[in-house]
């Protein structure tokens, strides 16, 4: 297996909070155990909050939980999941993050209005990058 490919698998395990990953190609086999597995509970990395409140403006930032490609729509050429000003429900899919051909949904953790789309469609984002701003519904 290529060294860069193995490094990519390691990065995927670290960035996506995957406990364990096994990959085989022909006779070669690799197993990567992440820090967050039960074998290493004291080394579990702290994940950034999916929603970080901004009390001064009463807005919430939706933060990338992993590094990857940011996709605003479910498929190329399809309508985006959400647009600026759209009302969203808690748990609604707002976008997808792609890492190593694995698509992970980015979900709203509060109901409200999309007040900002802070990452460009197709951009590579790092863990901790602000993706959306949601203005929560009052009451």
pLDDT in tens, 8-53: 777 777 776 667 777 777 778 777 776 654 444 433 344 444 444 4
Q: Indicate whether 92 and 126 sit together in one domain.
A: yes
Q: Indicate whether 24 and 58 sit together in one domain.
A: no
- DSSP assignment of 93-122 equals EEEEEEETTEEEEEE-SS-EEEEEE-S-TT
pLDDT in tens, 59-96: 889 999 999 999 999 998 899 999 999 999 999 999 99
pLDDT of 124: 93
45-54, 55-64, 120-129: the lowest-pLDDT one: 45-54
Tell the residue number behind the tokens 């197993």, with chain if given: 31
Query: Of the candidates 139, 118, 129, 134, which has an alpha carbon nearest to the alpha carbon of residue 86?
Result: 134
Q: Indicate whether 14 and 80 sit together in one domain.
A: no
Q: Indicate whether 128 and 90 sit together in one domain.
A: yes
pLDDT of 76: 87
pTM above 0.85, yes or no: no
Q: Indicate whether 10 and 60 sit together in one domain.
A: no
Q: Indicate whether 77 and 118 sit together in one domain.
A: yes
Q: Indicate whether 110 and 128 sit together in one domain.
A: yes
Q: Indicate whether 108 and 80 sit together in one domain.
A: yes
Whether residue 118 contacts residue 57, with contact meaning beta carbons closer than 8 Å, is answered with no
pLDDT of 35: 61
Question: Does the pLDDT value for residue 111 go beyond 80?
Answer: yes
Enclosing domain of residue 75: 51-136
pLDDT band at 57; cut points 50, 70, 90: low
pLDDT of 74: 92
pLDDT of 45: 40
Q: Indicate whether 14 and 39 sit together in one domain.
A: yes
The CATH number of the domain where 124 resides is what?
2.40.50.100
pLDDT of 37: 41
Token duo for residue 137? 């519904």
| Total domains, the chain | 2
pLDDT of 40: 40
């Amino acid at each position: 297996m290529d060294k860069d490919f193995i490094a990519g698998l390691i990065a995927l395990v670290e960035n996506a909070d995957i406990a364990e990953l096994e990959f085989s190609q022909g006779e070669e086999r690799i197993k990567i155990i992440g820090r967050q597995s039960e074998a290493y509970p004291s080394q579990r990395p702290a994940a950034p909050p999916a929603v970080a409140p901004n009390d001064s403006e009463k807005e919430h930032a939706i933060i990338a939980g992993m590094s990857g490609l940011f996709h605003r729509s479910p498929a190329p050429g399809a309508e985006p999941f959400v647009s600026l000003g759209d009302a969203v429900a808690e748990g609604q899919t707002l976008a997808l993050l792609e890492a190593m051909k694995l698509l992970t949904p980015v979900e709203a953790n509060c109901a409200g209005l999309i007040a900002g789309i802070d990452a460009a469609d197709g951009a590579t984002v790092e863990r901790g990058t602000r993706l959306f701003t949601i203005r929560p519904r009052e009451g």
